[in-house]
Amino acid sequence: MNILEIFDTTLRDGTQGEGINLSVEDKLKIALKLDDFGINILEGGWPGSNLKDKEFFKQAKKVSLKQAEFCAFGSTARFPDKVDSDKNLKALLDAETPIITIFGKTWSLHSEKCLGLNEHENLKLIEESVSYLEKRDRRVIFDAEHFFDGYKESPSFAIKMINAAKNGGADTIVLCDTNGGSLPSFIDAATRDALKKCNTQLGIHVHNDGGLATANTLAAVSAGVTHVQGTINGVGERGGNASLGSILPNLIIKMNEATKSKIDLEKLTSLTNFVYDVMNLRSNDQAPFVGKSSFAHKGGIHVSAVMKDSKMYEHIEPSLVGNTQRVLVSDLSGKSNIKYKAKELKIDLKDNKELAKDLVAHIKKMEYKGYQFEGAEASFELMVLRKKGVFIPYFDVVDSRVNVSYDQLGENKTDATLKVKVKNDIEHTAADGVGPVDALNNALRKALLRFYPNLKKVNLTDYKVRVLNEKDGTQAKVRVLIESSDGESHWSTVGVSENIIEATWQSLSDSFNYHLMKKDNYEKRIAYV
């Protein structure tokens, strides 16, 4: 049985994606996470192209890895007769990594038009560049750039180039679908031919321009390659690289492929989220295996089936990749959704079919008005407890006003005035803010702190407004989603109104009530009965 070597290029090829810019410190943080996850080779960057990557390899020497090895990336020499004096090759050696990857042209179009080299000159350039590095005690990986496009145009030319790398002493030759436009059937056929005609370890590196990066990688592995390259979250130039988040679960769980070191798939979801955070990118909720929505169920029929046997609508157990099953509540919900969510929230419906039926009808009515509970589970929990008649609000707003004024320079000043009732006490207060939402938040917080000091810890982490019926113009309804945190947990709430202040107030009120309920151990106090 073949043993697969897993090569991660998030820190090199991944950084070529639009909007991605990592500091040296960022790259080192990711490298340690990848090492802990079980990656064999970490391609850290191109030291011959920029000072940041040069500094990265300098700092990487101080890092102790458990199992992975760092790899520096670069190109073949610029001219066949100047290998010994090529600055790029020297920079690769100066990085002092045990492994070096260099790429070379295996498509005659690139060789002739980009480099101005004929077939013989390109052969010499590849072989001598690889040999120069190999003779200096480095393991050399050769990336056969545009191999599949080159093979499509001239199989003999492409094969000659990878054999030149082999003759130069390359340990591994990676077949690259650089343009990302090949189909799995072609990847399979070309890879099998390359394996027959180049007797050395072959690898696969593909891009996702045709949406087939995962399929193409799996096709190459099925054809016989033993070295697999990709990035976390598929980040990379244009349509991105092959995503290890999709490739590895398919290889390990479904194809039963063995890997050189143990890949800890249970850390996969947290790893992908960590990389998103460091790169300051929004996560892809629908990413296979690791996305927030990957094992989320919304339709009532689906939920009913999942509650009986999750295999009916889940292709693997979510915990295998560190993910979790979720059930969403919406206008598509049935009683099964409500019962599942209630159980998840530790709310005992005691097989109360009438209550479950009432809740379904109420949710459908609320969502018809514009509410959305699948992204506001705190508001959903409060709604269920209200319908059960067991939730007592921690405060009531008797009166509220928000004032916005403009000075002669056009700068606005905003203040909010609130009269809040807590049990039998009335608190009358006012606060300024940067806009009406901030002012309202500040005033409510100020009014309640005397009664509930732990509200100091609550912060709004996100505020989203969605216009629901744009054709109604200024009279259109808006939906406000607020995400809050107390430093220990996060929760989301929702409000809907034609008045953005009212919608905000609904969501903000739910947020504060939810926090107070949880801190008050409400579930034990009322036993959710």
CATH code where residue 22 lies:
3.20.20.70
Residues 237, 371 within the same domain: no
Domain boundary among 234, 263, 292: 263
What pLDDT is attached to residue 393? 85
3-state class (DSSP) for residue 33: helix
Is the torsion defined by CA of 287, 290, 291, 297 positive or negative? positive
Residues 145, 26 within the same domain: yes
Residues 409, 478 within the same domain: no
Asked whether residue 294 is domain-assigned, the answer is no
What pLDDT is attached to residue 209? 93
What pLDDT is attached to residue 258? 92
Task: Report the candidate in 42, 110, 109 with the shortest Cα–Cα distance to residue 75.
Answer: 110
Residues 187, 210 within the same domain: yes
Asked whether residue 310 is domain-assigned, the answer is no
Q: Which residues form the domain of 408?
A: 396-451
Asked whether residue 274 is domain-assigned, the answer is no
Residues 459, 404 within the same domain: no
Domain boundary among 231, 263, 295: 263
Residues 445, 473 within the same domain: no
What pLDDT is attached to residue 127? 92
Q: Are β-strands 139-145 and 99-105 bridged in parallel, bridged antiparallel, or unpaired?
A: parallel
Q: Answer for the pair 505, 441: CB distance below 8 angstroms, yes or no.
A: no
Tokens matching residue 150? 């080159």
State how many domains the chain has: 3
Residues 357, 437 within the same domain: no
Task: Report the candidate in 226, 50, 3 with the shortest Cα–Cα distance to residue 11.
Answer: 50
Cα separation, 453 vs 446, in Å, equals 10
Cα separation, 102 vs 124, in Å, equals 15
Give alpha helix (H) positions in 371-451. Answer: 377-388, 436-448
Domain boundary among 228, 263, 298: 263
Residues 243, 352 within the same domain: no
Asked whether residue 384 is domain-assigned, the answer is yes
Q: What is the CATH number of the domain that holds 479?
A: 3.30.160.340
Residues 464, 441 within the same domain: no
Residues 502, 517 within the same domain: yes
Residues composing the chain: 529
Cβ contacts of 249 within 8 Å, gap of 6 or more: 265, 268, 288, 289, 316, 320, 321
Q: Answer for the pair 493, 378: CB distance below 8 angstroms, yes or no.
A: yes
Q: Are β-strands 258-259 and 296-297 bridged in parallel, bridged antiparallel, or unpaired?
A: unpaired
The single residue listed with the structure tokens 């046997």 is 309
Asked whether residue 444 is domain-assigned, the answer is yes
Residues 379, 472 within the same domain: yes
Question: Identity (one letter) of the amino acid at 257?
Answer: E
Asked whether residue 316 is domain-assigned, the answer is no
Task: Report the candidate in 44, 48, 50 with the shortest Cα–Cα distance to residue 98.
Answer: 44
What pLDDT is attached to residue 293? 66
Asked whether residue 278 is domain-assigned, the answer is no
Asked whether residue 161 is domain-assigned, the answer is yes
Residues 213, 75 within the same domain: yes
What pLDDT is attached to residue 303? 55
Query: How confident is the prediction along the chain (529 residues), in pLDDT tens digits per residue?
Result: 689 999 999 999 888 888 888 888 889 989 999 999 999 999 998 888 788 888 999 998 888 898 999 999 998 888 766 888 888 899 999 999 999 999 999 887 867 777 777 888 888 889 999 999 999 999 999 999 999 999 999 999 999 999 999 999 999 999 999 999 999 999 999 999 999 999 899 999 999 999 999 999 999 999 999 999 999 989 988 989 999 999 999 999 999 999 998 999 988 988 988 888 788 787 787 788 888 766 666 655 565 666 665 666 667 777 788 877 666 554 444 555 566 656 665 556 566 667 667 766 766 677 666 666 666 778 778 877 777 777 788 888 887 787 777 766 667 778 888 888 888 888 888 888 777 778 888 888 888 888 888 888 888 788 877 776 545 554 567 788 888 888 778 888 888 888 778 888 888 888 888 888 887 765 444 443 3
Q: What is the dihedral of CA 216, 217, 219, 224, to 10 degrees?
A: 150
